[in-house]
Structure 1
Amino acid sequence: MTKATKILLPDLVSHCTFKLRHSRHRKQITTETKKWLFKDGNLLGKSRQMYHGLKCGLLTSMTYPDAGYTQLRVVNDYLTYLFHLDNLSDDMDNRGTVSTADEVLNSLYHPRTWNSSARVGKMTRDYYKRLICTASPGTQQRFIETFDFFFQSVTQQASDRAAGVIPDLESYIALRRDTSGCKPCWALIEYAYNLDIPDEVMEHPVIRNLGEAANDLVTWSNDIFSYNVEQSKGDTHNMICVVMNEEGLDLQSAVDFVGDMCKQSIDRFNEERSRLPSWGPEIDRDVSVYVNGLADWIVGSLHWSFDSERYFGKSGRKVKSSRVVELLPQRR
Structure 2
Amino acid sequence: MEKHCYEWAKKFELITKKTKNKEFKLSKFGLLICYIFPTVSFERRCLAVDFFNWLFFVDDLVDKNQDLKGNPEEIKILLDKFKPILDDNSQSTNIFQSPISIALWDVWARMKKITNEVWRLKFRNTISLYFDACYLNAYNKESHSIPNSVEEYIKIRRNSGAVMTSFNLIEPLLGIQLSYDLNIQNLMDYCNDHICFINDLYSLKKELAEGEVDNIIVVLRRSNQYSLREAIEYAVILINDRMKQIKEVVDKLKQFNLEIDQDTSKYINALLDIVVGSFYWHKISGRYLTKNKNSKK
Higher helix share: 2
Question: In structure 1, what is the equivalent of residue 263 of structure 2?
Answer: 286
Alignment match, 2:151: 170
Task: Please give the alpha-carbon distance, in whole angstroms, between the structure 2 residues aligned to 1:182 and 1:61.
Answer: 16
Amino acid at match of 1:62: Y
Deviation at 1:112, TM superposition (A): 4.9
Shift of 1:178: 0.2
After superposition, the Cα gap between the structure-2 partners of 1:314 and 1:165, relative to the gap in structure 1 and judged at 3 Å, is: closer
Of the three residues 46, 53, 57, the one matched with 1:80 is 53
Number of residues of Structure 1 aligned to a counterpart in Structure 2: 283
Counterpart for residue 104 of structure 1: 82
User: Please, which moves more after superposition, 99-108 or 61-70?
Assistant: 99-108
Q: How does 1:297-308 map to 2 (within 5 A)?
A: 297-308=274-285
Give 1:132's aligned residue. Answer: 112
Identity %: 23
Deviations 1:60-95 (A, max 9, x none): 00000100122111100011211111456899x747
CA distance in 2, matches of 1:193, 1:72: 10
Is this contact kept in 1: 2:114–2:172, CA < 8 A? yes
Counterpart residue identity of residue 140, structure 2: D
Secondary structure of the 1:41 match is coil
Change (3 A) 1:36 1:194: same
Any idea what the Cα deviations from partners look like across 1:220-244, whole Å, max 9, x if unmatched? 1111111012112232331101101
Corresponding residue for 2:128? Answer: 148
Deviation by residue 1:127-183 (Cα, 9 ceiling, x = unmatched): 011011112433322211111100011101100000011111221110000000001
CA contact (8 A) 1:62 1:296 kept: yes
The verdict on how the C-alpha distance between 1:80 and 1:41 changes in structure 2, with shifts beyond 3 A counting, is: closer
Deviation at 1:41, TM superposition (A): 3.4
Higher alpha-carbon deviation: 154-163 or 129-138: 129-138
- Indicate yes or no: 2:162 matched with 1:181: yes
Does the aligned pair in 2 maintain the 1:60–1:72 contact within 8 Å?
Answer: yes
Kindly report the root-mean-square deviation, in angstroms, between the aligned alpha carbons of the 2 structures.
2.5
1:209-229 per-position Cα deviation (integer Å, ceiling 9, x unaligned): 111011000001111111012
SS class of match (1:84): helix
Tell me, yes or no, if the aligned pair for 1:161 and 1:235 is still in contact at 8 Å. yes
C-alpha separation in 2, matches of 1:77 and 1:69: 12
- For 1:88 and 1:226, locate their aligned partners in 2 and report how far apart those are by CA, in whole Å: 17
8 Å CA contact 2:202–2:282 kept in 1: the answer is: yes
Q: In 2, are the aligned partners of 1:136 and 1:191 still within 8 Å (CA)?
A: no
1:209 — aligned with what? Answer: 186
Match of 1:269 among 221, 246, 250: 246
1:234-249 equivalences in 2 (<5 Å): 234-249=211-226
Alignment counterpart, residue 55 of structure 1, candidates 22, 28, 48:
28
With normalisation by structure 1, the TM-score equals: 0.79
Q: Decide whether the 8 Å contact of 1:103 with 1:120 is kept in 2.
A: no
Cross-structure match for 1:68: 41
275 and 112 in structure 1: CA distance in 2 versus 1, 3 angstrom threshold: farther
Q: Once structures 1 and 2 are overlaid, which stretch shifts more, 44-53 or 256-265?
A: 44-53
Amino acid at match of 2:233: D
Cα 1:99–1:120 shift into 2, 3 Å: farther
